[in-house]
Structure 1
Amino acid sequence: MTRPDTAVRGDSPATDIVEYDIEDKPPAGEAVPLGIQHLLAMFLSTAALPIVIARAIGLGAADTTFILQMALLVAGVATIVQAYPIGPVGARLPVVMGTSAIFVAPLIDVGSQFGLAAIFGAVIVAAPIEVLIGYFIDDVRGLFPPLVTGIVVMLVGLTLIPVAMDYSAGGPGAATYGNLENVGLAALVFAIAIGLNQFFDGFLKMVSVLVAVVVGYLAAIPLGLLDLSGVASAGWFSVPTPLAYGVAFEPSAILVVAFAYIVTAIETIGDISGTTESVGRDPEGRELKGGLVADGVMSAVAGVFNAFPNTSFSQNVGLISFTGVASRYVVALCGAMLVVLGFVPKVAAVIAAMPNPVLGGAAIVLFGMIFSVGIRIVTRGVTLTQRNLTIIATSIVLGVGVEVRPDVLSSLPDEVRLLAGSGLIAGGVTAVVLNVVLPADEADVRDRDSDPTAVSTDGGQE
């Protein structure tokens, strides 16, 4: 059960003790609380992101509640499949799944232009992209070195800043937009999340944003900003309805979502590598392939059941390293809890009632952390030569530019504008193309040869 020896990865010894290895099953008295801890670590992100998308494209309270309910259900099923695969689908690892932040900005763009049915059509049709990446990871990995992936992840955070600020002010178009109550409540949530994260350790640090949101809910009551009327009308149990909003297929929407799948595949590779690193080894080929295939397949299932694409959750990888509990059985329990919550509309209704400023204050932290992850990828794996600085600067400026000044593309046809107007697409494609076209120097070759994220499907590192 306990691994007493020192695990070695590369040249650095891993000093963390593994309390429960991947195949271990802790006793129920330990497994259940450990599963709840994983649930708490990922819950806010997988709950908040569907709300952000739903509100941004103008859905009402009932539809938002239903989509959130489906998001919890699909996240639970996907987590169980990653831990206990179905054929080739699943990594057989403790990988916690939830709604992917990578898709937030692209899906808001698609939904605002074409509607909800087009979102689900694109999610379903584009999902095989990630499945293919799983099978051909060695062939495509060279297109996405840390320079490119770091830029894309930074763009994910940067392009979501306007969304976070709008909700902090009360929500787009709100009559009370920017008033003191809204901004003050968002600031309270933000301050509590940062304070707990930076000045505490252990459990409080891990659930800092969740605690901040709970406090925000309570503070919203005397301000008259919490409306729980939808909770009373929500049922205690409901069965999922496939394609409740229909499905539509728009070529430009599919291309936007397909690019997001490529980005989230890179994120999943990193999370799988981090998970196996916690037990002192590199990921095996079947684990990488199974994890990516599960990402794609379960995201398609999410589209069928009115939810948004799923991906692995990095905060749970950190939780595994922190606790030394790498048991896939524990993570499967977390998945089972999510499934149960997904069948209870009242739970989703309480979460969906989150006041806009509370959502905004939490989003500032969450989206800001995404940006900081991108910075970390770049600074750890890239030498900042003049060539690389040029790629970073150009890609970021173009990506953010089309987001904050979309009218610059107003003369383009609607479908082309959706593609070119996505900051993730504009900046990401720019980074990929420039990285291929601009000649590499000696520092770039050294970075590529020492890239710690370059994994091969035979289980080793390149």
Structure 2
Amino acid sequence: MSDVNLDDQSVQSDSDEGIVRYEIDDKPPLSEAIPLGMQHLLAMFLSTVALPLVIAGAIGLGQSETTFIVQMALLVAGISTIVQVYSVGPVGSRLPIVMGTSAIFVTPLIDIGNSFGIAAIFGAVIVAAPVEIVIGYFYDDLRSLFPPLVTGVVVMLVGLTLVPTAIQYSAGGPGASTYGDLANLGIAGLVFLIAVLFNQYFDNFLSIASVLVAVVVGYLVAAPLGLLDLSGVADAGWVTVPMPLEFGVEFHPSAIVIAAFAYVVTSMETIGDVEGTTGTVGRRATSREMRGGLLADGVMSMFAGVFNAFPNTSFSQNVGLIGFTGVASKFVVAICGGFLVVLGLIPKVAAVVAAMPEPVLGGAAIVLFGMIFSIGLRLVAENVELTQRNLTIIAASIVLGLGVEVQSDALAQFPDDLQVLLGSGLLVGGITALVLNAIIPGDGGLTAADASA
């Protein structure tokens, strides 16, 4: 419940998260709204550019292609954020939700790209997006299939399957002649250490932007060591107009199935973020807000595939920022979206980001991917009773999911398309959790409180 007091500048209310300084429909003065919008930008910036960098590097794209991918990621994130905030028809929650590249898709898209090429990635992203749109329309009926036990296991697998990628980049990047050099490992370790220290021992903005601070320091340290190559920045233009399907598009059934399952997983994440956002102002999300949020995820991810970007979803760290600051104004978040659009139209900005040395990216990735695992772990720990049944489901799902991811050669006797499907740890582990939860008698993975609700 909330106790609302109005004045000329803001609305303050009690909520489960603390004091609400600006409600969802409030418009702070521009002198406050602009820096608050920049704060949202900084909170999500590294994640929304690091994930495309990881995918581009893992599938072997060159620097100019990587720069373009990053540019499109920023542009689409900005447009998606504005649509989510203000809506286009039924698409959009009309809540202060920041959108960006989804971490759920990193491992699946790397698997698709290495098996079929980048055109197949965008084909799968576009064709599979209606899965989340359907979930948006029928989320009340379908949500019971995905209790915290299942979604928590899948989110943990997202983090675990990305661990090898983080370590590879920390050592210098796959195939690098300097792979494993102490300089690479030292820079990665420095970035990791600074991120942890700033997050744990500083308050307010420095804590929220700890990974960004660590990356800036990593850049500065890498430059005199000859690890920072900014030659691509000079070649990049100042303004460009995005072109659809720049890399072409291909359709492979196994790739589409993998992407479709990832859309199911990210739908569950978005449901949590929508509830978390409205929770900061002391209420539950309405059906219209939930449907609009999921529809925005699906529709704007399809839009992302057409415009050479990877699927977009709500950013949980920005939901946390709203609870931390008490600023729930969607006007502020729309300003963040505007900044992203501007940055996405300036190739030089994308070129600077794309030049990030691999060890710097690796040190940041250890933190980011580790936090994804931790979020899944917390989801299970806080919502699931750890009975013998539920522990069995967790164990089987994690071992099978992680096993096929790191030992894909064990599947060499299967047909090629089936190898792609069975080699996806997210798909194998997620389906294992989903099926076992459905067939093993029990409470469906809920806590006692949830089961009786």
TM-score, normalisation: structure 1: 0.95
- The aligned residue for residue 6 of structure 1 is 14
Residue 252 of structure 1, aligned match among 248, 251, 254: 254
For the Cα contact (< 8 Å) 1:299–1:310, is it kept in 2?
Answer: yes
Q: Which runs of 4+ in 1 moved over 6 A?
A: none
The 3 A distance-change label for structure 1 pair 84 and 444 is closer
Does 1:326 pair with 2:334?
no
- The aligned residue for residue 100 of structure 1 is 102
Query: In structure 2, what residue type is equivalent to 1:203?
Result: F
2:91 counterpart SS class? coil
Does 1:61 pair with 2:63?
yes
For the Cα contact (< 8 Å) 1:3–1:17, is it kept in 2?
Answer: no
2:308 counterpart SS class? coil
CA-to-partner distance for each residue in 1:95-120, whole Å, 9 max, x for gaps? 00000000000000000010010000
2:251 counterpart SS class? coil
Residue 229 of structure 1, aligned match among 231, 234, 238: 231
Q: CA deviation at 1:30?
A: 0.3
Q: CA deviation at 1:445?
A: 7.0
Query: In structure 1, what residue type is equivalent to 2:67?
Result: T
Residue 81 of structure 1, aligned match among 83, 88, 93: 83
- After superposition, the CA RMSD in angstroms is 1.2
Distance in 2 between residues matched to 1:393 and 1:199, nearest whole Å:
35
- The aligned residue for residue 402 of structure 1 is 404
For the Cα contact (< 8 Å) 1:145–1:448, is it kept in 2?
Answer: no
The 3 A distance-change label for structure 1 pair 35 and 444 is closer
- The aligned residue for residue 421 of structure 1 is 423
Range with bigger deviation, 436-445 or 19-28? 436-445
Query: In structure 1, what residue type is equivalent to 2:14?
Result: T
Distance in 2 between residues matched to 1:30 and 1:174, nearest whole Å:
45
Residue 20 of structure 2, aligned match among 18, 21, 44: 18
The 3 A distance-change label for structure 1 pair 250 and 175 is same
Query: In structure 2, what residue type is equivalent to 1:396?
Result: I
For the Cα contact (< 8 Å) 1:70–1:305, is it kept in 2?
Answer: yes
- The aligned residue for residue 442 of structure 2 is 440
For the Cα contact (< 8 Å) 2:147–2:445, is it kept in 1?
Answer: no
Distance in 2 between residues matched to 1:76 and 1:25, nearest whole Å:
19
Residue 386 of structure 2, aligned match among 384, 401, 407: 384
2:19 counterpart SS class? coil
The 3 A distance-change label for structure 1 pair 264 and 347 is same
Q: CA deviation at 1:404?
A: 1.0
The 3 A distance-change label for structure 1 pair 103 and 443 is closer
Q: CA deviation at 1:447?
A: 5.1
Query: In structure 1, what residue type is equivalent to 2:439?
Result: V
Distance in 2 between residues matched to 1:399 and 1:318, nearest whole Å:
29
| Residues 345-360 of structure 1 mapped to structure 2, 5 A cutoff | 345-360=347-362
Q: CA deviation at 1:449?
A: 2.4
1:6 counterpart SS class? strand
Q: CA deviation at 1:15?
A: 6.2
| Residues 213-228 of structure 1 mapped to structure 2, 5 A cutoff | 213-228=215-230
Distance in 1 between residues matched to 2:268 and 2:12, nearest whole Å:
32
1:98 counterpart SS class? strand
The 3 A distance-change label for structure 1 pair 246 and 26 is same
Distance in 2 between residues matched to 1:326 and 1:442, nearest whole Å:
34
Does 1:265 pair with 2:273?
no
- The aligned residue for residue 281 of structure 1 is 283
Residue 50 of structure 1, aligned match among 39, 49, 52: 52
CA-to-partner distance for each residue in 1:254-311, whole Å, 9 max, x for gaps? 0000000000000000000000000000000000000000000000000000000000
Does 1:301 pair with 2:309?
no
Distance in 1 between residues matched to 2:340 and 2:261, nearest whole Å:
28
2:100 counterpart SS class? strand
- The aligned residue for residue 11 of structure 1 is none
Q: CA deviation at 1:139?
A: 1.3
Query: In structure 1, what residue type is equivalent to 2:159?
Result: G
2:20 counterpart SS class? coil
Report % sequence identity. 69
For the Cα contact (< 8 Å) 2:147–2:444, is it kept in 1?
Answer: no
Residue 342 of structure 2, aligned match among 319, 340, 363: 340
1:282 counterpart SS class? coil
Distance in 2 between residues matched to 1:382 and 1:248, nearest whole Å:
41
- The aligned residue for residue 162 of structure 1 is 164
TM-score, normalisation: structure 2: 0.97
For the Cα contact (< 8 Å) 1:168–1:358, is it kept in 2?
Answer: yes
Q: CA deviation at 1:6?
A: 3.0
For the Cα contact (< 8 Å) 1:198–1:205, is it kept in 2?
Answer: yes
Query: In structure 2, what residue type is equivalent to 1:61?
Result: Q
Query: In structure 1, what residue type is equivalent to 2:153?
Result: I
- The aligned residue for residue 3 of structure 2 is none
Distance in 1 between residues matched to 2:60 and 2:17, nearest whole Å:
50
Distance in 2 between residues matched to 1:349 and 1:3, nearest whole Å:
41
Q: CA deviation at 1:186?
A: 0.3
Q: CA deviation at 1:448?
A: 3.9
Distance in 1 between residues matched to 2:445 and 2:362, nearest whole Å:
41
1:192 counterpart SS class? helix
Q: CA deviation at 1:3?
A: 3.6
- The aligned residue for residue 183 of structure 2 is 181
The 3 A distance-change label for structure 1 pair 396 and 346 is same
Query: In structure 2, what residue type is equivalent to 1:410?
Result: A
1:416 counterpart SS class? helix
Query: In structure 1, what residue type is equivalent to 2:81?
Result: T
For the Cα contact (< 8 Å) 2:438–2:444, is it kept in 1?
Answer: no
Distance in 2 between residues matched to 1:169 and 1:321, nearest whole Å:
36
Query: In structure 2, what residue type is equivalent to 1:439?
Result: P
The 3 A distance-change label for structure 1 pair 443 and 188 is closer
Distance in 2 between residues matched to 1:63 and 1:442, nearest whole Å:
45
Q: Which runs of 5 or more residues in structure 1 are unaligned?
A: 8-13, 451-461
The 3 A distance-change label for structure 1 pair 172 and 445 is closer
Query: In structure 1, what residue type is equivalent to 2:414?
Result: L
2:313 counterpart SS class? strand
Q: Which runs of 5 or more residues in structure 2 are unaligned?
A: 1-5
Distance in 2 between residues matched to 1:43 and 1:440, nearest whole Å:
42
For the Cα contact (< 8 Å) 2:437–2:445, is it kept in 1?
Answer: no
Query: In structure 1, what residue type is equivalent to 2:234?
Result: A
Q: CA deviation at 1:446?
A: 2.4
